[in-house]
Amino acid sequence: MPSVFPLLADLRGRAVLVIGGGAGAEHATSALLQAGAQIEHRLPGGVTVLMLACALGLPDIVARLLTAAADVHANDDQGLAPLHCAALYGFTARDKSRLLALLDTLLLAGADPDYLAGGRVSPLLLVLGARAEPGTACDEQVVLAGVERLLDEDVSLDVADQRGFGPLHLAALHGLPLLVQRLLRAGADADRRDALNRTPREIAIMRGFIDVAGQFEPALPGVSSMARFLREGR
C-alpha cells in the first residue's frame, strides 16, 4: 500500500507531497506538521494533501491531517472534495475496514455526503464507479460496505452523472447484483432513464449481466432472477 511519505516542508514553510512507501510515513507526517508544514499547499489540478491521502486510502494520515486543521470542504479544479476522493478509492478498494475508517473519519469531521462535485457527481455515485471504465475490477462486498455507510447518512438517491447514470445504472453497468438489490430496497428509481433513454435494466442487458437484469423483475417464490429474466424476455 502506498503511503504519504513525507509531507516535506522547506525553511520557507512551503509544502510538497511525495508519494512513496515506508512504515515511518505517519511519524514523518506528524513531525512535519509539528514543524509547521503548510497542509493546504495545492498540487497540480488544485489537489490538496488531504485529497491525495483520501484517494490513496490512508485513513490514519487523513485523521492526522484533519487534526492539524486540513480543510475537509476544499475542492480541486474538478470540484471534487476529500470525500469524493475517498469514494473514488472505494470503488477499487480491497480492504473494507480501511474504506470504512476513511469514510467515518471524513464524515465525523463534517464532510458533506451529498455534495455534488461540479454540481453533478455525489460521493455515492463515485463509490459506485461513476468514474470507472466498464469492466474495472472491484470487490462488491467492499463497495457495498461503502454504500451502506453513505446510506447511513441518508444520502440522496435522486442523483445522476453527466451521462444521466443514477445509482442503479452504475450498479447495472458494473454487474453488481448485491448493490442493485440494496439500492432497490433503499428506494432507488428502477425506471430512471439516462441521457440516451435507457433504464438500469437495459444497461445490464447491454453489458450482458443477465442475472443483474433479472433483479429488476418482480420476485416470485422459488423463481431465480435468471429464470425471471428468461421468462419475461427483453
Residues 122 and 107 in one domain: yes
Residue ending a domain, choose from 156, 185, 206: 156
Residues 6 or more apart whose CB falls under 8 angstroms from that of 82 comprise 48, 50, 51, 54, 62, 72, 74, 106, 111
Average per-residue pLDDT in the chain? 85
Where a domain ends, among 156, 177, 209?
156
The reply to whether 141 and 211 lie within a common domain is: no
Residue 203 lies in a domain: yes
Residue 5 lies in a domain: no
> Rounded distance, CA 66 to CA 70, Å?
5
Closest among 27, 35, 117, 134 to 74, alpha carbons compared: 117
Q: Is the residue at 10 inside a domain?
A: no
Report the percentage of the chain scoring pLDDT > 70.
77
Same structural domain for residues 140 and 166? no
| 4 part of a folded domain | no
Whether residues 113 and 208 share a domain: the answer is no
Q: What predicted TM-score, i.e. pTM, was given to this entire model?
A: 0.83
Same domain, 145 and 45: yes
Domain limits for position 188: 158-234
Asked whether residue 14 is assigned to any structural domain, the reply reads no
Contacts of 5-11 spanning 24+ positions with Cβ under 8 A: 5/29, 6/32, 7/32, 7/33, 7/37, 7/39, 7/49, 8/32, 8/37, 9/35, 9/36, 9/37, 9/38
Beta-bridged to residue 47, according to DSSP, are: 43
Q: Are residues 120 and 164 in the same domain?
A: no
70 shares its domain with 104 = yes
- Grid cell 513525507 in the structure block, residue: 6
Q: Are 130 and 173 part of one and the same domain?
A: no
Q: Spell out the residues 6+ positions from residue 72 whose beta carbon is closer than 8 angstroms to its own.
A: 50, 66, 81, 82, 83, 106, 109, 110, 111
β-bridge mates for residue 117, sequence order: 121
Question: Residue 22 above 50 pLDDT?
Answer: no
The CATH number assigned to the domain holding 51 equals: 1.25.40.20
Looking at the 3D structure of the chain, how many domains does it have? 2
Does some domain include residue 2? no
Same domain, 146 and 216: no
Question: Could you read off the pLDDT of 81-104 as tens digits, one per residue?
Answer: 999 999 999 999 999 999 999 999
Asked if the structure places residue 17 within a domain, the reply is: no
Chain segment 139-167, per-residue pLDDT in tens? 999 999 999 999 999 999 999 999 999 99
Task: Answer with the residue of higher pLDDT: 42 or 137.
Answer: 137
Residue 54 belongs to a domain: yes
